[in-house]
Structure 1
Amino acid sequence: MNIQKVGFIGLGMMGAPMCARIAGAGHTLYVADADPARVEEICGKLSAAPLTEAAAKDLDVLTTMLPNSSIVESVLLDEGWADRLTPGALVIDMSSSEPVRSRELAETLAGRGLHYLDAPVSGGVKRAENGTLAILVGGEQAEMDAARPLLETMGQSILFIGPAGSGHAAKALNNLVSACGLMITVEALHVAKRFGIAEDVMTDVLNASSGRSNTSENKVKQFMLSGTFGSGFSLKLMDKDLSIAGKLAESVGYTLSFGAYGIDTWHRVAEGVSPTTDHTEMYRLLSEDAQ
């Protein structure tokens, strides 16, 4: 498959810079979003055109970057975008969707003569902008190989995980580890502060020692201690991913222990914040003073 014409549905904080990478690589790009003004804005900035029914028939790939499985299924099946594609076209869901539902969607699309990959991303807005995302791919190896040049416009690490749904499963589990690691890092900082160790010093200790993590290296000083809380990934979106991880564990008959506590804690905190609250605000929200 020679991928030239690409459709992209979902122009949010991640979708827009990902589209910029695709257009910048020379692909013919058609975009769609629930907000028509957003489509107009992106088309004005990039070499892109609105996605129409006529354009869909000629697409090599239709990509979705949407909030959840229900919206992905609604767009592809209920709104009919899958039916507008020509058999043989490839659908790539780069959303953070539910693995079991992704596997079912792959079967549904196969019945319509369409190929499917789930390819969620990790790395945040900045890495979307510079094309260095990690992309976790589930599906058939042949489709993965065909899509690799397109995926490499957006990501630096393209990892083939396994059958359909595996990418979404890996993304949820990665975020479970990330979220629980963030919480324990924050708690260690608060204990250190109460004992009289400056939090920036404790962060240096972690980064020079075995407690080092993505949180300690890339989030604590940059977004937590600075008070900017501007990583670009919301607390509620992380909560959604943790729900997916919890359901995944249940579906395979594994009982989480530490993970279950982390998920429950994140749920509790998420209930009291706005949709725009950055996930690094856990530093503030988990402090004993804030509870």
Structure 2
Amino acid sequence: MTERIGFAGVGLMGHGMAKNLLEKGFPLTVLGHRKREAVEDLKARGATEAGSARELAEASDIVVLCVTGSPQVRAIVEGPDGLAAAGRKLLVIDCSTSEPSVTTALAASLAEHGITFIDAPLSRTPKEAWAGTLDVMVGGAEADVARARPVLEAFAGRIVETGPVGTGHMMKLLNNFVSLGYAALYAEALSLGAKAGVTAQTFFGVIGGGRMDCPFFQTFFEYVVGHNPEAHKFTLSNALKDLTYLSSFAGASATANPVNSAVRNSFALAVGLGHADGYVPTLADIIAQTNGLPPPR
């Protein structure tokens, strides 16, 4: 029997993920969203809509969350009309980028109510979400992950099991630390090069195709030299949130984390200057601006 899926968070990533669940034949209920375009599109494809998280739980066997972070997850799960209020046994798959310590605490508290909670954060972009080829890092007990796998396979091209609950979210923060660290390096390198007369095109020509090339480099420079504002749709505010989560973990575990501090400050500068909703590659423009330079092109 096909399990009924509930989905909360049909935004940039969630819209494509939910669309793929429908295409794979899962009965789907989506939580109402202030941005109606995605909800209406999914309803036209066969989804039904719930008016609250509690209604979503009542209509589902498995609920997928794809929201901004831990506060939003807790509100959906534990709020007065949240998933837990339905009093049903559920498997909740958190595909958000959340704080690992909150994830483990939430999993423990929900287990007392018969709700299984696992973390399955995502890597790649909305383009891959729509194509059903996301990377997923999943943390949870073996049996729970096995139950979740058919759902994850509907929108993922690669699934990596990371260990117990919370390790998926930790791995996601490490993944973002590395990628956003590269973004900060690219932005600074472009400004330093511009001061010496090295153009962004030259920088791209040397790094592109070499040992330091990678898909992240390509999407970053698809904006810088390709002038595509939609190339990498991940906001500066979300980047800062993830780096702050990692900084909190480093502080709580007394782990030296000087590079993350420097990377985080680059994104904090960008957000502090009013660019929270800009996408990550625009960091190159912001660092250039602070150095009295035009955007690198």
TM-score by length of 1: 0.91
Does structure 1 retain, via aligned residues, the 8 Å contact 2:29–2:56?
yes
Distance 1:274 1:191, change over 3 A: closer
Aligned partners of 1:207 and 1:226: how far apart in 2?
Answer: 13
Counting only pairs closer than 5 Å after superposition, residues 187-266 of structure 1 correspond to structure 2 as 187-220=188-221, 222-230=222-230, 231-266=232-267
Q: Which residues of structure 2 form unaligned runs of 5+? A: none
State yes or no: 1:80 paired with 2:82.
yes
State yes or no: 1:25 paired with 2:24.
yes
Does structure 2 retain, via aligned residues, the 8 Å contact 1:68–1:98?
yes
Does structure 2 retain, via aligned residues, the 8 Å contact 1:3–1:150?
no
Which range moved further: 253-262 or 92-101? 253-262
Letter in 1 for 2:292: D
* 1:132 aligned residue: 133
Distance 1:198 1:268, change over 3 A: closer
Residue-by-residue CA offset, 1:94-129 (whole Å, 9 max, x unaligned): 111111000001001111111111111111111111
C-alpha deviation, 1:85, in angstroms: 5.3
RMSD: 2.1
* 1:35 aligned residue: 34
Aligned partners of 1:191 and 1:240: how far apart in 2?
Answer: 27
Letter in 1 for 2:124: G
* 1:8 aligned residue: 7
Letter in 2 for 1:171: K
Letter in 2 for 1:83: A
C-alpha deviation, 1:84, in angstroms: 1.6
Does structure 2 retain, via aligned residues, the 8 Å contact 1:58–1:85?
no
C-alpha deviation, 1:38, in angstroms: 5.1
State yes or no: 1:166 paired with 2:167.
yes
C-alpha deviation, 1:290, in angstroms: 5.2
Does structure 2 retain, via aligned residues, the 8 Å contact 1:3–1:147?
no
Does structure 1 retain, via aligned residues, the 8 Å contact 2:33–2:39?
no
Does structure 2 retain, via aligned residues, the 8 Å contact 1:93–1:120?
yes
TM-score by length of 2: 0.90
Which range moved further: 198-207 or 119-128? 198-207
- Between the two proteins, the alignment pairs up a number of residues equal to 288
Q: Which residues of structure 1 form unaligned runs of 5+? A: none
C-alpha deviation, 1:199, in angstroms: 2.0
